[in-house]
Amino acid sequence: MKPPTELEAPVAENPAEGIDQSAGDFTYDVKYDYDAGAGLTENTVRYISDVKKEEPWILEFRLKALQTFLDKPMPTHWATKDLNNIDFDKIRYYLSQGQAPKRTWDEVPDDIKKTFERLGIPEQERKFLAGVEAQFDSEAAYSNIKEIVAKEGVIFMGSTEALREHPEIFKKWFGKVIPTSDNKFSALNSAVFSGGSFIYVPPGVKVSQPLQAYFRINAENFGQFERTLIIVDEGAEVTYMEGCTAPKFSTATLHSAVVELVAMKNAKIQYITVQNWAANVYNLVTKRGLAHEGAEIKWIDCNIGSRLTMKYPGVVLKGEGARGEVISIALANDGQHQDTGAKMIHAANNTTSTVISKSISVGQGRSTYRGVVHIPKHLKGCKNNTECDALLINSNSRTDTYPAITVRGNDHAVQHEASVSKVSEEMIFYMQQRGLSEAQAMSLAVNGFVNDLVAQFPMEYSVELKRLIDLEMEGSVG
């Protein structure tokens, strides 16, 4: 029998034997009505477009993107050698049970409904959400927005639906913030994208409760390629939250999303992510916002799990007085690499950007901060503050910081601060003497390290994040 390749080899387990890394580590047998099969060819792209009954311009967009993907080499400057382990011929690019998302939970097929009920999505919707979308593999299985929000003219639906029902809004900004040619994986997404969220908030409307999407990978050897577009018109505000999980398989799973945000004059967008991917997932995501005059875009990004995450949320500060902020928490356990950071591009006077990154490396886990801040010479009054703090749990843990800050001209204020600290055995011993277990002591130390950032999360997400950290810290010392 042929020995397994590096891609097929089982990934490292959690250091504590028997401890589940995630409440999402389960799967159900699902019968798919639509399956594009494994491998990426022009026929794959045509199959996806045909199943979705798309307009000719979308198919043309996809085929051009496929060629761009094939032409572009694997990234090397920002990437790691681990990317070479992805076998695109083994990935399944489209799986779904149907096209139309359900409007009530009772209508959702039983096998899919069991998944989302186990993850607590219906309960979250009832308690504190203005709307929710639940994507299962390639398509949304459920999508709903509360009537009081819809009456204000807010549109919240899956991207597949939005392309059909609101092409005049969607097409105007689609691929404009993140061009197909931005990188190899944005080109891949552009070729095979399916699902994702579309939000439009009319001028002056402030959505008081968050909108949430939940992305679930269920199938083995699968690639999820959602495409999210959020447009917030002048003076409007919205908070959007996404959660991501997948079961643990011995073969690689690929997640390669594209997220585009557009904040018009004086608009505010807050985009919150809590990902808890299984340790076989390659999470390669491109996220960017465009902030017009006086607008504010804030990314709050929490990365737990995955074999490799490469994610650098960015803001192009296009209008005078625009503000951009990235708050990032990353936890890398054994066999995992969290390669995260931010990109801030100042393109107007008196713009302000803030990057705060905190990472935790456990066992032989590796965390990396990569950031870009660019302020050109002709601008005036721009400000940036970048803070990178890393916490090492064990002697084999690793952390790296690669800031690329380019500032031209004399009328700007920029500062960068980085620190690395380690949880000492003395600290753990001290807490154990006061009745805490080793795992509780470690969890307390880590939660204290990220507490100031977690305080900015909505209550429901901060509780979930603490629970995930507690699980990850089990058995992490020694």
The pLDDT-based confidence of 425 (bands split at 50, 70, 90) is confident
Q: Name the pTM for this structure.
A: 0.87
pLDDT at 443: 80
Question: Residue type at 244?
Answer: C
Burial state string for 223-244 with b = 16 or more CB within 10 A and e = fewer than 16? bbbbbbbbbbbbbbbbbbbbbb
pLDDT tens-digit map of 217-226: 888 888 899 9
What is the rounded CA–CA span in Å between residue 194 and residue 95?
10
What is the rounded CA–CA span in Å between residue 262 and residue 14?
39
Chain mean pLDDT for the chain:
84
Rg (CA), the chain: 22
- Crossing angle of helices 438-454 and 459-473, in 10° steps, is 150
Q: Which carries the bigger pLDDT value, residue 42 or residue 209?
A: 42
What is the rounded CA–CA span in Å between residue 366 and residue 398?
5
pLDDT at 4: 34
The 3-state secondary structure of the chain, one letter per residue:
CCCCCCCCCCCCCCCCCCCCCCCCCCCCCCCCCEECCECCCHHHHHHHHHHCCCCHHHHHHHHHHHHHHHHCCCCCCCCCHHHHHCCCCCCECCEECCCCCECCHHHCCHHHHHHHHHCCHHHHHHHHCCEEEEEECCEEEEEEECHHHHCCCCEEEEHHHHHHHCHHHHHHHCCCCCCHHHCHHHHHHHHHCCCCEEEEECCCCECCCCEEEEEECCCCCEEECCEEEEEECCCCEEEEEEEEECCCCCCCEEECCEEEEEECCCCEEEEEEEEEECCCEEEEEEEEEEECCCCEEEEEEEEEECCEEEECCEEEECCCCCEEEEEEEEEECCCCEEEEEEEEEECCCCCEEEEEEEEEECCCCEEEEEEEEEECCCCCCCEEEEEEEEEECCCCCEEEEEEEEEECCCCCEEEEEEEEEECCHHHHHHHHCCCCCHHHHHHHHHHHHHHHHHCCCCHHHHHHHHHHHHHHHCCCCC
Contact 326, 313 (CB under 8 A): yes
User: Is 50 exceeded by the pLDDT of residue 247?
Assistant: yes
Q: Which carries the bigger pLDDT value, residue 475 or residue 420?
A: 420
Domain spans, the chain:
34-425
pLDDT tens-digit map of 126-152: 666 778 777 878 887 777 888 889 999
Please give the average per-residue pLDDT across 239-259, as a whole number. Answer: 82
pLDDT tens-digit map of 378-424: 999 999 999 999 998 877 888 998 999 999 988 999 999 989 888 87
Q: Which carries the bigger pLDDT value, residue 106 or residue 459?
A: 106
pLDDT at 413: 94
pLDDT tens-digit map of 86-102: 899 999 999 887 656 77
The pLDDT-based confidence of 79 (bands split at 50, 70, 90) is low
User: Is 80 exceeded by the pLDDT of residue 462?
Assistant: no
Q: Is 420 exposed, middle or buried (0-12, 13-18, 19+ CB in 10 A)?
A: middle
What is the rounded CA–CA span in Å between residue 326 and residue 126?
29
Per-range mean pLDDT, top range of 1-5, 122-126, 361-365, 424-428: 361-365
Least confident of 13-27, 280-294, 410-424, 450-464: 13-27
Please give the average per-residue pLDDT across 19-47, as a whole number. Answer: 72
Question: Which residues are registered as beta bridge partners of 337?
Answer: 308, 366
pLDDT at 1: 36
**Six-digit token string for 109:** 């097929």
Q: Which carries the bigger pLDDT value, residue 149 or residue 215?
A: 149
pLDDT at 429: 82
User: Is 80 exceeded by the pLDDT of residue 307?
Assistant: yes
The pLDDT-based confidence of 239 (bands split at 50, 70, 90) is very high
Residue with tokens 């080109």: 187
Question: Which residues are registered as beta bridge partners of 413?
Answer: 383
Contacts of 59 (CB under 8 A, 6+ apart): 45, 46, 49
Question: Residue type at 337?
Answer: H
**Six-digit token string for 47:** 């199959």
pLDDT at 12: 34
